[in-house]
Amino acid sequence: MSSIVDPIKEGLARGWKVLGGKHGPLPTSLDCDVVIVGSGAGAGITAELLAKAGLKIAIVEEGPLKSSSDFRQLEADAYAQLYQEGGGRKTADQAMPVLQGRCVGGSTTVNWAGAFRTPEETLNYWVDIYGLKECGAEAMKPWFEQVEARLNISEWLTDPNANNSVLRRGALKLGIKAPTIHRNVKGCWNLGSCGLGCPTNAKQSMLVTTIPTALDLGATLMVQTRADKLELKGNQISGLLCQPVHADGSHAGPAFRITAKHYVVAGGAINSPALMMRSGLPNPNDLLGRRTFLHPTVASSAVMPEPVQGWAGAPLAVFSDHFLRTQPIDGAIGYKLETAPVHPGFAMTNLGGMGRTLVDKAKTFPHTSILIGLLRDGFHPEAGGGVVELKNDGSPVLDYPINGYLLDGARRAHLSMVEIQFAAGAKSVRPAHEQAQDYQSWHQAREAILALPYEPYITTIGSAHVMGGCAMAATPAQGVVQPDGQHWQVANLSVHDGSVFPTSIGANPQLTVYAQAARMATGLAKRLTERDVRLDSPAVPASAASAA
């Protein structure tokens, strides 16, 4: 029996209204003020703020409700239970895996707890190109501050683990800045298992913060429930058809209908545009599902003389934006450097190889350091991202071709990471590429990387963050939703998640989603109730709320 108190079990015992899966039968119909699709970063913030405004809300989540007592820090459990498509989601041509959470808390339950304010150059670009004056750095500052206070986001003061130390040491030696990351944690045990669900409730994900607050204020959470279709009547949504599902996503009972005054779609990029596509919502400028971004990600592994044990300790502690900042945002693609947790399943799979190669990797595994380079897509005509398509069964798939522009970035990111790893003292380095070898020196690696063919598939490319597909913009010609999240064509529909980003952002997106959702949901609460709500203030008293 673990000493950790599970706040979700306690909440359920207090009488939270949670339905679906093992939590009791779903209703045949339900009426509320606002229904929120999803329970991740955008949905969680929205749920708390709208519940605080006294609104009767329902949250619809396709995944299961899992909590600290379920999180055993095991790869064998986590990918299958907590990620989209049982961990098997990939782009249409299978070239890039797509990691997204599918559980209460969404990706915030399984992310690596890196919290960055949106880079200023990204916000400036949004203002200049998409007319989003609400998103300027000054205008966003109070939203970041509010969210940071709510989720305990602050600089990580514990020493970085050995994997992150490689990045810091190598970068400093080359005169490259590698600052410390901010994290959304409280009493972190430094276990390194963030990606498998935090077993100590230290990570301030939506699962342990905003969703519990909303449930304590009387919200209804429906889990293992897929938002199947929004019903459109004139320019209004008249209902949301929901499909109960089993853990594997197959049907688990009759569909039912939720009616609400307002509908907030926050199922995350890919899923949110897919719901709107399935529903046949107006899309006059053919923008829905387009410009979906991934931060395509390349990796390089190094064998260090010292033990690294990259499975232990905060997976993200140090980063470098040097290669984002030293060139124009709309020139050759820039990349952010970070580290990845070195768990056996994840690392041995993503670093590629078989037979002899795997045997060698297994031997040096405890000394292995992994750096990753996240390509900043969306700022250049050759980096237009992917397009969400629907399969015959209505489920989405992202068609995201990998082109020469991205592959040029992959090569340059490999070069940067390899140079840093050798500068940090690596004995050998191998970029993740089917034709790469273990290189013994920076000179040898550089010559080899410059000669390697950079083509799809043989260049190992993953993806880090899914963004876009329902862009916000100041005009309907450029956006699916207005700057406040309101759909341009449908009156009572908003989108509050990472799908509203008009480009990728060049940073881990959770804090950007939180801040945008806080801005949008505060405005929505005001429009619907005339009330002012904040994440760092208590709810409007019940008596005032019932008078609404």
Backbone angles phi, psi at 43, to 5 degrees: -65, -45
- Token readout for 346 is 């994840």
Three-state secondary structure along 241-279?
EEEEECCCCCECCCCEEEEEEEEEECCCCCHHHHHHHHC
* Under 8 Å between Cβ of 336 and 324: yes
Q: Which residues of 71-85 are buried (b: 16+ CB within 10 A; e: fewer)?
A: bebebeebbebbbbb
Q: Given the complex with other proteins, which of 405 and 442 has the nearer CB atom?
A: 405
CB of 199 to other proteins, least distance (A): 6
Kindly list the distances between the CA atom of residue 119 and the CA atoms of 263, 325, 506, 533, in Å, as whole numbers in the listed order: 30, 10, 7, 26
User: Which spans in 335-488 are helix H?
Assistant: 344-350, 356-364, 404-423, 442-451
- The residue ranges that bind other proteins (CB under 8 A) are 2-4, 72-76, 79-81, 85-88, 92-95, 189, 191, 193, 199-200, 247-250, 311-312, 343-346, 348-349, 354-356, 358-359, 361-362, 365-366, 391, 393, 395, 397, 399, 401-403, 434-435, 456-458
Q: Given the complex with other proteins, which of 293 and 488 has the nearer CB atom?
A: 293
Q: Given the complex with other proteins, which of 128 and 189 has the nearer CB atom?
A: 189
Q: Given the complex with other proteins, which of 4 and 129 has the nearer CB atom?
A: 4
Q: Given the complex with other proteins, which of 249 and 273 has the nearer CB atom?
A: 249
- Token readout for 184 is 């959304």
Q: Given the complex with other proteins, which of 241 and 247 has the nearer CB atom?
A: 247
Instruction: Tell me which residue of 222, 199, 210, 217 sits closest to 14, measured CA to CA.
Output: 217
CB of 366 to other proteins, least distance (A): 4
- DSSP secondary structure letter of residue 389: E
Instruction: Tell me which residue of 452, 428, 527 sits closest to 484, measured CA to CA.
Output: 527
CB of 148 to other proteins, least distance (A): 27
Q: Given the complex with other proteins, which of 71 and 335 has the nearer CB atom?
A: 71
**What are the strands, taking DSSP E only, across 283-375?**
292-293, 296-303, 335-339, 368-375
CB of 368 to other proteins, least distance (A): 9
CB of 345 to other proteins, least distance (A): 3
Q: Map tokens 């206070």 to a residue.
A: 149
CB of 392 to other proteins, least distance (A): 8
CB of 3 to other proteins, least distance (A): 6
- Token readout for 369 is 């350091």
Q: Given the complex with other proteins, which of 74 and 139 has the nearer CB atom?
A: 74
CB of 428 to other proteins, least distance (A): 17
